[in-house]
Structure 1
Amino acid sequence: MMVEGIAPALAEALETRGYSELTPVQKAVLDPALGQSDALVSAQTGSGKTVAFGLALAPTLLSGAERFGGAAAPLGLVVAPTRELALQVARELGWLYEMAGASIATCVGGMDMRTERRILERGAHLVVGTPGRLRDHITRGALDISGLAAVVLDEADEMLDLGFREDLEFILGAAPAERRTLMFSATVPRAIATLAKEYQRDAVRIEAAGEQKQHHDIEYRALVVTPADRDNAIVNVLRFHEARNAIVFCNTRAAVNHLTARLNNRNFSVVALSGELSQNERSHALQAMRDGRARVCIATDVAARGIDLPGLELVIHADLPTNPDTLLHRSGRTGRAGRKGVSALIVPHPARRRSERVLQAARIEAEWARPPSAEDVIARDNERMLSDPALSEPVSEGEREFVATLLERFGPEQMAAAYLRMSRAGRSAPEYLSESGPLPAAGKAAGPAGAPSKSRDDFGDSVWFSLSVGRKQNAEPRWLIPMLCRTANLTKREIGAIRMQPEETFVQISADSADAFVEALGPHMTIQGNIRVEAVDGEPDFARSAWRTQKPERKPHRGKGGFGKETGERAPKKKFDKGDRPAFADAGAKPWGDKKAVKPGKPKFDKGPAAKPVKKPKRPK
């Protein structure tokens, strides 16, 4: 693969690796107009930027030679935000520079510093590391960066987000002023522009082609579910796609642990990645994904930054991303190097509006749909089984005799049933999901509660029911509706208006479903054991119901009249006349109006003459 600007050793490595064409960002950094200038490159995750800055560094590091000489102080330094990304960059540069004779060292947190120090003492042409560990080695004198010719900041925006600005400024300040500085970032916010202006010299701004069309090899799907069905929807999405590798993103460590336990119980081969794991545990988890021992990785955003899983076909957002950048970083784990991928957002219907804003801010048009149903998963399993190459391969001579024995003993139908059972063995059964309401129209944003739904005034024939919970018990439609759907196998379309009162709630049920609803409640007419349900004749009198449940929240203020027991009206304030005032035995007490009057209840008493102190007799001598 001979391309102008690529060193022969690197071109040979690309050809050996199977590269037939460079990506847009790789072509951009090889532009002769760039020369030896600094560069600020914006390129999305998965666009081939590691190879891109490897190609861009080669002319600076080799200085016209075909191979590197003896290793001493490093010539190039690559700084990455996370341990996984740094190790991945080192692997990529390892095969790219292998035929050029480069020696590459890594300095990442979580590894043995003494081992890294010994490697640095032997010398290296390139050093790849994380900001904190690199600063430690520089401070301790183990890493000599006085001879650096080039510095690369990979995922610079993530490093600033993770709070590495001070470390980056220390590293760049300690490096030679005449170095070449390349910054690669998915986005270029103001903080990145400020950093580039301070530590780069007349940097060339490069926007990789296709940057405006985010991840065109990724198919985005927004799957609307009821809040109670989130985990079940994730199970069905995993079962429907049966991806070689899948990653499920959660927002917290607790959510990672919860979902890991759920999927483990459902026979999924799953590993977890969160900040509480040690580096050794994280490495084992990623290795299990790479060698096929695990197929599902559940991770938080910080823990998953920089990881690269080969053949990652599916990304599931169990918790909605907080901003568009997070959505793009998560989804960028799939759809790499021309391969197709799916990014599925699990959207609880109360959060539909928020998910639409995130998608709109990321300039992504997602396909709105419901998660695969149990029937969809079973149908997909059957399709995969029918397309299994084992069913189309001819019977070999070595198999023919025993095949005849099996058919003679068990018959074709029994053999087909046995094959079906064996193909389904070990797989998790799909989940049955409740109805999640209408979906947004294609290409249009949904309203406040999703797509426009029919008016409740046109609900049709219905029966009203009273539930013994209200606003005082913190009752809300967002948990009442899923509870009703689960208890009586209702869909949201069969539930009409919901009228919340202080101590009871009225729910409108379709007349066609009312009998089944009552039958599902059982003879005690209760939901969840303690919520009583009663059928209402006709339409409830909401105003009277609210008046009936009104009770004083607290006692009347001191000095005010009390409430009448029968009428509910405030009693008049009691008045006293002077004759009602208490009399005291003290004849000298003055009326209350006198400022010098004795306080009532505290009469004066005559203490009598003061007693004289008695002198002690003198002790005889």
Structure 2
Amino acid sequence: MTSFENVAPALARALAQRGFETLTPVQDAVLAPELQAADLIVSAQTGSGKTVAFGMTLAADLLGETDRLGAPGQPLALIIAPTRELAMQVTRELEWLYAQAGGVVASCVGGMDARDERRALFRGAHIVVGTPGRLADHIRRGSLAMESLKVVVLDEADEMLNLGFREELEFILDASPAERRTLMFSATMPRAIEALAKKYQRGAVRVNTVSTQKQHIDIEYRALVAAGHESENAIFNVLRYHDATNAIVFCGTRAAVTRLASRLSNRGLAVVALSGELSQNQRTHALQSMRDHRAQVCVATDVAARGIDLPDLELVIHADLPKNTEALLHRSGRTGRAGRKGTSVLIVPYSARRRTERLLRDAGIQARWGEPPSADDIKQRDDERLLADPLLMEKIQESEHAIVAKLLTEHSAESIAAAFVRVYRKGQAAPEDLAPTPSWQEERPERNRRDAPPARAAASRDNFEGGAWVSLSVGRAQSAEPRWLIPMLCKAGGLTKRQLGSIRIQQNETHVELDAGSIDAFFTRVGEGGRLEKNIRVTRLDGAPRVQSERPQRAADNEFAERPRRRPEGVERPPHAKAKPAHKSDRKPHDAKRAGRPANKKQKWHPAD
């Protein structure tokens, strides 16, 4: 039997029975003899075996020098986890770890029947695992006795603070005995955790296993640049290319989870959704579908997927970019667990490539950049999987000889092979054709220099020297506008905005300048007939169109061509007095009327003024 140093004998037997041969760095670190009675603050990578680590370090308080635990009564250890799924996962891990020692583990999580939990607590348990809200409720109701606690563990402590459980955590810790041990495990260690540790721990020892190597050695990181409107197609192609046993796709919102899960399901993938709006029964069913391989893809939000442990999870896709490095590490940590290999793929919109580079740099991650798999790449990968199928290497069974001989008699080998290929490909969803993306390596001009804008403008026009022109069968009369012409051209011809130049909208047609190097690929993608959409067609022009003024000539312009614009010389303008009505000619002079008014009296307005 494999020997594990500093591990209680009962737990060592459970590890060997589970197939463990060596311990992970974090497990070795917390088992150091000098730490067995100390409060700990442990920072470790997600998926590095933290659950088994704190399970083994509990043995010093629970077992002592004995090999088995006594009859269950009041709990001796309390483990607090941020989510229901993580709490249930920790419960399962501790059950097999303490099975040889006779340990009884009870769970108290939201969404489950609280009456069943109270009955389990009344029967007695050595270890209780739960979420902050439900544990605090049991303490207030008196169903969870805290007097015998020897150790309290906060798993994913940073996430519990992010979710707003500070008040519940402080209530639970205040209700526990002052002489207890307090262990905090987390993938990250922000200031809020340090403040909590300072208040509730005594001389805590820091154990850090991530400072020297932030990037998980079992996870391959890929950054794939895709046009914004092609992100869903890119995700689908990545799933088809890898054909992972289990894959998880992270979205930023519940609405995005619902939409993407529906789109992927409509394309023939076995998909489940995981978000906060689901009931506990629905969440449990979704995760069980992934474990039973009835579902292949799980689309989830960050919070809903916290702590999920799927043994066969091989692929993580970031449909929406993580907000910070902690989210990136937690998401990616769902794969590459317990020595298994995994892949973490970031779908990067072209406009967000610089932000993604900073995110990866801050996380200490070296990612391989590229483009999403094309339809040809996926078909080639399908063929490779077909040729490597283990069924082709198996010997013919005795019960198969008759049908094999009959097939060879009635059909040629080529026909049988072709039928095998068709059967293999049957049911596989067709990959998506993706629009080409600009090179992600393109450098930005300096922004701080005063001459940067002219340089940028000049650089953006270099690829239009000798550019090609096309004509669209829509113009001002058909309400043509650049705001819908540009997306139409980009989508139909696989172009980007940088590959479009001048746009000249005429009365019944529109002339558009295209990048000289893109014109052939544009018409190849559009196809024969040049139809873009509905009744809009595109044709290639031999050269730049002449700029013509389309202002219609007024028909009456020549009618008054000889009309003089000024009064001829020698013709006097009639005096204004003659133009006034006759009855106004006998009015008194203006000055005579004002002569009789006092100098200091306010004068009234008169129509003659």
Q: Identify the TM-score tier after normalising by the shorter chain.
A: 0.7 to 0.9
2:544 to 538, 542, 550: 538
**Aligned position for 1:483:** 488
Alignment partners' CA distance in 2, 1:3 and 1:320? 41
Relative to structure 1, is the Cα distance of residues 515 and 290 closer, same or farther in structure 2, using a 3 angstrom cutoff? closer
Q: Specify the SS of the correspondent of 1:385.
A: helix
Q: Which amino acid aligns with 2:121?
A: L
Alignment partners' CA distance in 1, 2:175 and 2:399? 71
**Aligned position for 1:366:** 367
**Aligned position for 2:437:** 436
| Contact 1:368 1:440 (8 Å CA) reproduced | no
**Aligned position for 2:468:** 463
Identity level (%): 56
Relative to structure 1, is the Cα distance of residues 446 and 307 closer, same or farther in structure 2, using a 3 angstrom cutoff? farther
**Aligned position for 1:497:** 501
The structural deviation recorded for 1:485 is 3.3
Q: How do 1:520-535 residues align onto structure 2 when only pairs under 5 Å count?
A: 520=526
Q: How do 1:369-388 residues align onto structure 2 when only pairs under 5 Å count?
A: 369-388=370-389
Alignment partners' CA distance in 2, 1:359 and 1:464? 41
| Contact 1:39 1:182 (8 Å CA) reproduced | yes
| Contact 2:511 2:545 (8 Å CA) reproduced | no
Q: How do 1:227-266 residues align onto structure 2 when only pairs under 5 Å count?
A: 227-266=228-267
Q: Deviations over 1:448-481 (max 9, x none)?
A: 99xx997532444213458869xx99956xx866
Q: Deviations over 1:330-385 (max 9, x none)?
A: 10000111111001111121221221121122111111111111111111111111
Q: Which amino acid aligns with 2:267?
A: R
The structural deviation recorded for 1:253 is 1.1
Q: Specify the SS of the correspondent of 1:98.
A: coil
| Contact 2:460 2:498 (8 Å CA) reproduced | no
The structural deviation recorded for 1:118 is 0.8
Residue 28 (structure 2) pairs with residue 27 (structure 1): yes
Q: Deviations over 1:397-442 (max 9, x none)?
A: 332222111111122111111100111111111111110111328x
The TM-score with structure 2 as length reference comes to 0.82
| Contact 1:466 1:536 (8 Å CA) reproduced | no
Q: Which amino acid aligns with 1:288?
A: S
The structural deviation recorded for 1:63 is 2.7
| Contact 1:39 1:181 (8 Å CA) reproduced | yes
Alignment partners' CA distance in 1, 2:95 and 2:481? 60
Alignment partners' CA distance in 1, 2:6 and 2:315? 36
Alignment partners' CA distance in 2, 1:437 and 1:486? 14
**Aligned position for 1:402:** 403
Relative to structure 1, is the Cα distance of residues 411 and 165 closer, same or farther in structure 2, using a 3 angstrom cutoff? same
The structural deviation recorded for 1:213 is 2.6
Alignment partners' CA distance in 1, 2:527 and 2:397? 60
| Contact 2:158 2:193 (8 Å CA) reproduced | yes
Q: Deviations over 1:91-115 (max 9, x none)?
A: 0000000111111110101111111
Q: Specify the SS of the correspondent of 2:222.
A: strand
Q: Deviations over 1:148-171 (max 9, x none)?
A: 100000000000110101111111
Farther off after superposition, 391-400 or 193-202: 391-400
**Aligned position for 1:316:** 317
Alignment partners' CA distance in 2, 1:141 and 1:10? 32
Residue 107 (structure 2) pairs with residue 106 (structure 1): yes
Q: Specify the SS of the correspondent of 1:219.
A: strand
Q: Deviations over 1:211-256 (max 9, x none)?
A: 6332121111111111121111111111111100000111111111
Q: Which amino acid aligns with 1:220?
A: Y
Farther off after superposition, 284-293 or 248-257: 248-257
Q: How do 1:98-497 residues align onto structure 2 when only pairs under 5 Å count?
A: 98-208=99-209, 212-440=213-441, 456-464=461-469, 483-487=488-492, 489-492=493-496, 495-497=499-501
Relative to structure 1, is the Cα distance of residues 513 and 446 closer, same or farther in structure 2, using a 3 angstrom cutoff? closer
**Aligned position for 1:508:** 513
Relative to structure 1, is the Cα distance of residues 124 and 228 closer, same or farther in structure 2, using a 3 angstrom cutoff? same
Q: Which amino acid aligns with 1:81?
A: P
Q: Specify the SS of the correspondent of 1:84.
A: helix
Relative to structure 1, is the Cα distance of residues 446 and 371 closer, same or farther in structure 2, using a 3 angstrom cutoff? farther
**Aligned position for 1:93:** 94
Q: Which amino acid aligns with 2:155?
A: D
The structural deviation recorded for 1:486 is 2.5
Relative to structure 1, is the Cα distance of residues 513 and 309 closer, same or farther in structure 2, using a 3 angstrom cutoff? closer
Q: Specify the SS of the correspondent of 2:304.
A: helix
| Contact 1:440 1:446 (8 Å CA) reproduced | no
Alignment partners' CA distance in 2, 1:517 and 1:369? 22
| Contact 1:525 1:533 (8 Å CA) reproduced | no
Alignment partners' CA distance in 2, 1:264 and 1:206? 44
Alignment partners' CA distance in 2, 1:374 and 1:594? 96
Alignment partners' CA distance in 2, 1:595 and 1:110? 89
Relative to structure 1, is the Cα distance of residues 266 and 447 closer, same or farther in structure 2, using a 3 angstrom cutoff? farther
- Aligned pairs, how many? 548
The structural deviation recorded for 1:497 is 3.3
Q: Specify the SS of the correspondent of 2:92.
A: helix
The TM-score with structure 1 as length reference comes to 0.80
**Aligned position for 2:554:** none
Relative to structure 1, is the Cα distance of residues 136 and 538 closer, same or farther in structure 2, using a 3 angstrom cutoff? same
Q: Specify the SS of the correspondent of 1:88.
A: helix
**Aligned position for 1:68:** 69
Q: Which amino acid aligns with 2:240?
A: R
Q: Which amino acid aligns with 1:341?
A: G
The structural deviation recorded for 1:64 is 2.1
